Amino acid sequence: MEYLKIEDEIKYHSQKYRIQREIEDMFIEEGYFYIEPSLYENLDELESFYKKIGKESLVKIINGNSDVVALRPDNTTNIIKNIIPKWKQGMQLKLFYNSSIFKNVNNSNIEEIKQLGIEYLGGFDFESDIEVIVLALNILNKFNDKFIMEISNSKYIYGLLEDINIDKIQEKQLKNIIYRKNKFEMFDYIKKLNLPSKIIDCLANIFEFQGNISQVIKRAEKFYTNKIMEKALEELIILGDFIKKEGYSKYVCFDLSMITELDYYDGVIFKGYYPNSFKEIIKGGRYDSFTEYFGEKVSAIGFSVELDEIANIINTRR
């Protein structure tokens, strides 16, 4: 953010620093310790992962050996690729970071995004889900009590896709339609696929599976489910009960059509928003299977907080 007066700029940065300290204090109080991710990524080491987010979005530079490296596009990947190869059975690590990620955006401009975030590795699955989501809710509530958090479980859509006999390109197109929540495009696209009628009905109605947990279950139970999808619904019901006990039910919307930009989550996923902001303030989820890519499957969940966006919202409000 740019200011005409130096006083306004100093005030903004002081305010942003205060917000950062308050969030870091919340992390420390919950037992997380600080880690500094490395700035650079080796493209060859993580080529298959970077294909998912698109190489065109990476900020690439050439090192002294004339090798092409990238400025980190994602803090979670950067952290676990260094930790998981050294993992020992029975460990539990609660980490937090305060770092930037870098992306190429329109017209090849480089965007630096300041993030605070946590990673909870090796925790008991459901207990760590609850702890991490309640912490995310507490952060959102601390700076604006008119927030909304969307929650789903990625097993629901992945379970559905497992029973659809389509190729990878078609699956990617279908995921993109769900991600953009385009109902009319969905109707047109699924007509072209040779799918069982019960799965067509589920996909045609999937954007209606949102609301409080009771509404979501009532709507979704009329349509196709398999064991994986049923497991996702069971986990969300239990999570919904804990959120109710914490007093956050009115702030939470469950949405079974939710898909994240980073395709490595395999359990609960969530995004938090403030009014009058189109950016996600908090986003995260469970990614056990992604740790296996680095040598061992470990219970893992985390989230990142967009520090600049919180500071901008508070500054605009005043």
Sheet holding 40-42, edge to edge: 40-42, 68-71, 60-62
Amino acid occupying residue 183 = K
Rounded distance, CA 254 to CA 228, Å? 18
First to last CA, the chain: 15
CB half-sphere exposure, 250, CA atoms < 13 A: 4
- Confirm or deny that 75 is annotated as ligand binding: yes
- Confirm or deny that 265 is annotated as ligand binding: yes
Whether 254 and 151 have beta carbons less than 8 Å apart is answered as yes
Rounded distance, CA 105 to CA 103, Å? 6
Rounded distance, CA 153 to CA 161, Å? 14
Which residues lie across from 59 on neighbouring strands? none
The beta strands (E) that lie in 43-197 are given as 60-62, 68-71, 93-104, 110-121, 148-153
- Confirm or deny that 264 is annotated as ligand binding: yes
- Confirm or deny that 115 is annotated as ligand binding: yes
Angle at 229 between CA 224 and CA 231, to 5 degrees: 135
Closest by alpha carbon to 109, among 56, 46, 70? 56
Q: Which residues are part of a known binding site?
A: 74-76, 115, 119, 264-265
Q: Which residues are part of a known binding site for L-histidine?
A: 74-76, 115, 119, 264-265
